[in-house]
Homo-oligomer: A and B are copies of this chain.
Amino acid sequence: MSSSNMVSNLSPLSLLQAPAAASHVDTLAPVVLALAVILAAAKLGGDVAERIGQPAVLGELVIGVLIGNLPLVGVNSFQFITSNATIGVLAQLGAVILLFEVGLESTVRDMMHVGFRSLAVAVLGVVTPWALGWWVGSLLLPNSSVYVHAFLGAALTATSVGITARVLKDLGRAQSPEARIILGAAVIDDVLGLVVLAVIAAVIAAADSGAAVSYGSLALVFGKALLFLFVALSLGVVFSPRLFRFASRLRGSGVLLATALVFCFVLAWLASAIGLAPIVGAYAAGLILEDVHYRDLSAKEDWRLEDLIRPIADFLVPVFFVLMGMQVDLSAFSRPEIIGLAVVLTIAAIVGKQACALGALGAKLDWLSIGIGMIPRGEVGLIFANIGLGLVVRGEHIIDSATYSAVVIMVMLTTLITPPALKWSLSRREAGSGKRVTGTG
C-alpha cells in the first residue's frame, strides 16, 4: 500500500487528515475543486459569450485562456488544474462524450449520403494546408531544413472537430448536411493527418538514423486505419440491435445508459488500439446507434437516450473546452518573430482549409460554412506540435520552442476564430434562404 510509508512519520495532528489523505484527499480533493472552478468558469464565460451573441463554447475557451494565464499577473492559484492528470483524462472523456452525442444525432445512412463528398472535402483539406504550410515555412524559415518545412505543413492538416461540433450543436445545426460533411471530413482528416504525420516522422527518423523507411508497413497501418471505420460501421450496424435486445432483458435501473456508454467506450478503445484518436470511435458509435435499436429499452425505462447522455455531456464537455483554453500560453505573444510566423501560419491554416469548399461545389450546400467549419486545429494541432518537439535530425530539433509557440498560437487563433465565423456564415445563409436550409435538417 503506497500510503503506509507516507503516513508513518506524520505528527498526531496531521494524522487527522491522514486517513482521508491515504485514499482520497490528495487525489479526490483537487479534482472536485478543479471541477467546481471549471464548471463555474464555463457557465460564467458562456453567459458573457451568449450576451454578446456568440456561442457559449467561445466563452468557455476564452475564460479558460484567462484563468490559464493568470500566472502572468502573479496569480498561481489555478495551476493545480492543468497539472492534474485526472482532470486531463476527464477533459478527454468530455471530448469522447461530445463526439458520441454528436454522432447520435446522425445515422450511418445519413453519413453515406455525404460520404464521398466528405472524403473529397477531407483530402482537399489535408493536401492544401500541407502544401501551403510547407511553402510558407520555406519562405519564412529559409535556413531550416526541408524537414522543418514539411513538418510545419503537416501541423496544419488536422481538423479538431470538437469546436465545430459544439458550435453546430449550440446553433441547433448538428443535423444539417453541412454538419455531416464537416464531421465526416474531420473524421477522415484525423486518419489522413495521422498518416501524413507518420510519413513525415518516418522520413525524418530515416534521415536521422540512415535507415530505410518501410513504406510497406506504413501502407499496412494506413489501410488498417481506413478499414476501422468501414468495419466498425458495418459490423456495428449488425451488432448494435442485438446488444440492445440482450440489454433490454436485464433487470435493474440505468441499463439503457450503461449499454450505450459501454458501446461508446468499447469503440473509442478500439479506435485508439488501432492508432486513431478515441473520439473517432466515439463518433462512429454515435453514428451506429439508432433509436430503433434501443426502442424497447427506452420504452421500458421511460427515458430517451439523448436525455440521459446530455447531463453527462453538460458535466464533462466544459472540462474539455476550459482546459484547452487554459493550455494556451499568452506570453508567447510578447515575441515579435513568433507573432510573425504565427500570423502567417494562421493565414495559411485558414486559407488552406477553404480548399475544402471545392469538395462541396456542385451541390446546393453552404460551401463557406464547410470551409470555416474545417478551420480549427484544437488539440490535434497541439499534439502535432508536441510530436515535432521530440523529432531530431542530426542534432537539429525539427520544431524548436519558438516554432512550437507559433504553432500553438496558430492553433489558438484558428480555434477562437471558428465559433464567431461559423455563426456568422450559418446565419448569413439562414437569413438569405431561411426555409430551405431549415427544411434539410
The answer on a CB contact under 8 Å between A96 and B7 is: no
9-residue interface stretch from A13-21, A115-123, A177-185, A430-438? A13-21
The answer to whether A194 has its CB under 8 Å from any CB of chain B is yes
How many identical subunits does the complex contain? 2
Give the residues in chain B near A330, CB-CB below 8 Å: none
The answer on a CB contact under 8 Å between B8 and A391 is: yes
The answer on a CB contact under 8 Å between B29 and A272 is: yes
The answer on a CB contact under 8 Å between B23 and A205 is: no
Q: Which of B12, B29, B218, B311 contacts A202 (CB 8 A)?
A: B12
The answer on a CB contact under 8 Å between B43 and A6 is: no
Q: Which of B6, B13, B49 contacts A217 (CB 8 A)?
A: B13
The answer on a CB contact under 8 Å between A16 and B194 is: yes
Which A198-253 residues sit within 8 Å CB-CB of chain B?
198, 201-202, 205-206, 213-214, 217-218, 221, 225, 247, 250-253
Q: Which of B28, B202, B261 contacts A39 (CB 8 A)?
A: B261
The answer on a CB contact under 8 Å between A269 and B392 is: no
**Complexed CA–CA distance, A13 and B194 (Å):** 11
The answer on a CB contact under 8 Å between B202 and A15 is: yes
The answer to whether A255 has its CB under 8 Å from any CB of chain B is yes
Give the residues in chain B near A258, CB-CB below 8 Å: 39-40, 42-43, 314-315, 318
| Given A23-B383, A43-B258, A311-B311: A214 in contact with B13 (beta carbons within 8 A) | yes
**Complexed CA–CA distance, A50 and B250 (Å):** 9
The answer on a CB contact under 8 Å between A18 and B387 is: yes
Give the residues in chain B near A202, CB-CB below 8 Å: 12-13, 15
The answer on a CB contact under 8 Å between A387 and B22 is: yes
Residue of B nearest to A384 (CB): B19
| Given A20-B275, A250-B47, A315-B312: A386 in contact with B8 (beta carbons within 8 A) | no
Q: Digit string of A29-56 for contact with B (CB within 8 Å is 1, else 0)?
A: 1011101100110111011011100001
The answer to whether A85 has its CB under 8 Å from any CB of chain B is yes
The answer on a CB contact under 8 Å between A197 and B269 is: no
The answer on a CB contact under 8 Å between B36 and A259 is: no
**Complexed CA–CA distance, A87 and B235 (Å):** 29
The answer to whether A11 has its CB under 8 Å from any CB of chain B is yes
The answer to whether A189 has its CB under 8 Å from any CB of chain B is no
What are 30 A-B pairs with beta-carbon distances under 8 A? A3-B386, A3-B390, A5-B390, A7-B391, A8-B390, A8-B392, A12-B206, A12-B218, A13-B202, A15-B387, A16-B194, A17-B275, A19-B383, A24-B89, A24-B92, A27-B88, A27-B92, A32-B265, A32-B269, A33-B266, A33-B269, A36-B265, A39-B262, A44-B250, A46-B250, A51-B251, A56-B251, A85-B86, A86-B90, A254-B311
Given contacts A19-B383, A27-B88, list 4 more A-B pairs with CB under 8 A: A15-B197, A19-B194, A32-B278, A254-B314
The 5 closest A-B pairs by CB, nearest first: A12-B202, A254-B314, A4-B390, A46-B252, A36-B265
